[in-house]
Amino acid sequence: MKVECYDENGAEVYEMIARHILQEVQVSRAVKDLNIYVDPREPVFIIVVRFEKAANPILLEDFADHELDSKANELFIRIRDETYLPDLLKKLWEIEGRNKVHQPSRFEVIIDDPKSDFKEMIVRDPQEDMKKKIYDAMFRIIPEGFRVIEHKNDGDILAMTCSDSLIKKEWLDKTDEMIEEMKG
């Protein structure tokens, strides 16, 4: 972790804040590197985070069997492992609509008139979950009032350039430099 600031005390405080927030959001182990550039005189705040790769996505086939009954125009899903059932239901409600999804028991789900392709359907993506948590941490670390934000997503690196006024090109260039430095 590196905090770049003209004020050494301010840098120490921001390092402490960042560490605390990463622990609070429970992503400190997933963060490989974190660099912050802050200059309140400008005002600019840049944060760049590199994170570990999370587990592979959980597919429907990983925990359930499904079969289409073309006569009844229904998809039957038999659950082998209940662990991801809440995620599955949420996903099905999003893509098919809540009124078409029925759950007669803990181990079966029926979808009326299915429109989606369920082959290799991603039910939960730990990588996306990790990104959401890291973005949450980044938004908590950003100084209050710095709500003009440009963000970049480069694989396992997330970056935000923040200010309370228009973002200058030189700040975006500094963000790009910090990203390249973190890659190298």
pLDDT score for 120: 87
48 and 72 together in one domain: no
- Pick from 107, 124, 141: which residue ends a domain? 124
pLDDT at 100: 95
Determine the pLDDT at residue 70.
87
According to the model, what pLDDT value does residue 93 have? 95
Asked whether residue 62 falls in the same domain as residue 47, the answer is: no
> Are 66 and 13 contained in the same domain?
no
- Cα–Cα dist 118/114, whole Å: 9
User: Domain range for residue 116?
Assistant: 58-124
Tens of pLDDT, residue by residue, the chain (184 residues): 999 999 999 899 999 999 999 999 999 999 999 999 999 899 999 999 999 988 899 999 999 999 998 898 999 999 999 999 999 999 999 999 999 999 999 999 999 999 888 888 999 999 999 999 999 999 999 999 999 999 999 889 999 999 999 999 999 999 999 999 999 8
138 shares a domain with 47: yes
Q: How many folded domains does the chain comprise? A: 2
* SS3 state of residue 126: helix
The verdict on 120 and 62 lying in the same domain is: yes
Asked if 118 and 156 sit in the same domain, the reply is no
d(CA 30, CA 37): 21
Shared domain check, 119 and 103: yes
CA torsion angle for 22, 23, 25, 26 (degrees, to 10)? 110
Instruction: Please tell me whether residues 115 and 70 are part of one structural domain.
Output: yes
Which pLDDT value is given to residue 113? Answer: 93
Q: 150 and 118: one domain?
A: no
* The last residue of a domain, from among 124, 155, 173: 124
Are 65 and 29 members of one domain? Answer: no
Determine how β-strand 2-4 pairs with β-strand 31-39: parallel
Residues 131 and 179 in one domain: yes
Mark whether 19 and 104 lie in a shared domain. no
